[in-house]
Structure 1
């Protein structure tokens, strides 16, 4: 098949003999996008087109700039999409990514490989591993990993100040979380339906916080409800072992 032969040919030419791996930055955007979806079942009919090798600007849910660089990927509940998606091949030009496909698997999620100027990430596919939030791109504003089956702990103390929205609902995160050093611009935070533990300090939330979801975890202890920001509209701490006034 010409589609796969050309992709493999380009990869072979760009392998660093000393490192034994591909330098992603040397690959054309067309090839990177083809590698991104190479594990998806029947991608030609679901995402590309019936052509042998359609230009990525013609792909469903893909927006490119005048130079042909991918700026946005939006694949939301496309019927019949299954298999795997290789997020490590995201082009470095991508600024917004929304992939909500619950039947997809994405392997290990490596934050350090995200595009450096990405602004928005919304992903709901089955992933593996932990999330090192210290490596989030400084440009990020909205970050959501929902129902991804991710594990490990969450360090929320050094998040980018650009962040306004963060959702980690329905994963398998464990351990305690610090909510006193969140980004000052953060308006929405959801840690609902995980396996988080420990006590909560809600006395120093961001001044503009609007919605906070901590429900369905294993938090415990007394809470101080007297120092919430005036902007707070929604607080859900149900299904925990907490109390307070």
Structure 2
């Protein structure tokens, strides 16, 4: 019988938080997909689900532990919620972009081994506490949702390589001097971020930074950009003064009406 109603074991120290260790992977995954539209398309039958490693979009390892879940490009048929508290601890990769998922997400409830999280192009909302990302995380793609509130980039996982927060409704000042040394790609575009920016200590690994269409302001110095940087797009902000633009890479500060560019 499909797990629609079940007595969930709870951590006694945290009411409402699922104790994954007391539930099987089968039960956890049934609870997870029950929040999605037409779960029977994933598990074959709502009344009698197939064994989890046989599900559509599920990849298990040699020990029959769930490592990956992919459920993307459903568009308007991809409704539901992202109940990550039900994902088994073994899960490393979750790909659920280009759907119509709604509701909030609690990053602290992601499995501790999660490395890849793609939730872009949904209708997810609420705040994002990036300090709660698992330390194993490498790719976090949350662009084109409806997230709000402030975010901090100061305590991101050391091994994080890709972070996309573009096209949301986030607002806060941003610190670029404490980014993970492994970071390759950063997108903060199309939000309401503000304040000045310090480009002097970007990671040596960084290749692309997207900051366009925000409210960043103040003067800037691009004299210490890393050689690895191929693209820096900071169009449509409120920078001012004059700045000398390095010759390497593609650097775009268009639509900053009070900023004068001097080419190196």
**TM-score using structure 1 length:** 0.89
Question: Offset of 1:108 from its aligned partner?
Answer: 2.3
1:142 to 139, 145, 148: 139
Question: Offset of 1:59 from its aligned partner?
Answer: 1.3
2:21 to 25, 34, 44: 25
Unaligned regions of 5+ residues in structure 1, if any?
A: none
* Structure 1 partner of 2:87: 90
Question: Offset of 1:16 from its aligned partner?
Answer: 6.4
Aligned partners of 2:173 and 2:195 also within 8 Å: yes
* Structure 2 partner of 1:217: 214
Q: How does 1:226-237 map to 2 (within 5 A)?
A: 226-237=223-234
* Stretch moving more, 32-41 or 179-188: 32-41
How many residue pairs match? The answer is 238
1:74 to 59, 70, 78: 70
* Structure 1 partner of 2:253: none
1:132 to 115, 124, 129: 129
Unaligned regions of 5+ residues in structure 2, if any?
A: 245-264
Q: Secondary structure at the match of 1:143?
A: strand
Greater helix content = 1
Query: 2:164 matched to 1:167?
Result: yes
* Structure 2 partner of 1:48: 43
1:100 to 97, 102, 107: 97
Question: Offset of 1:18 from its aligned partner?
Answer: 8.5
**TM-score using structure 2 length:** 0.83
Superposed CA deviations along residues 184-205 of structure 1, whole A, max 9, x for unmatched, are 1111111111110111111111
1:123 to 93, 116, 119: 119
Aligned partners of 1:38 and 1:85 also within 8 Å: no
Q: Secondary structure at the match of 2:30?
A: helix
CA distance in 1 between counterparts of 2:174 and 2:203 reads 15
* Structure 2 partner of 1:3: 2
Query: 2:191 matched to 1:194?
Result: yes
Q: Secondary structure at the match of 1:116?
A: coil
1:14 to 9, 13, 17: 9
Query: 2:153 matched to 1:156?
Result: yes
Question: Offset of 1:72 from its aligned partner?
Answer: 0.7
Question: Offset of 1:127 from its aligned partner?
Answer: 2.3
CA distance in 1 between counterparts of 2:81 and 2:14 reads 26
**In the superposition, relative to structure 1, how do residues 208 and 26 fare at CA in structure 2: closer, same or farther (>3 Å)?**
same
Query: 2:110 matched to 1:111?
Result: no
Question: Offset of 1:17 from its aligned partner?
Answer: 7.7
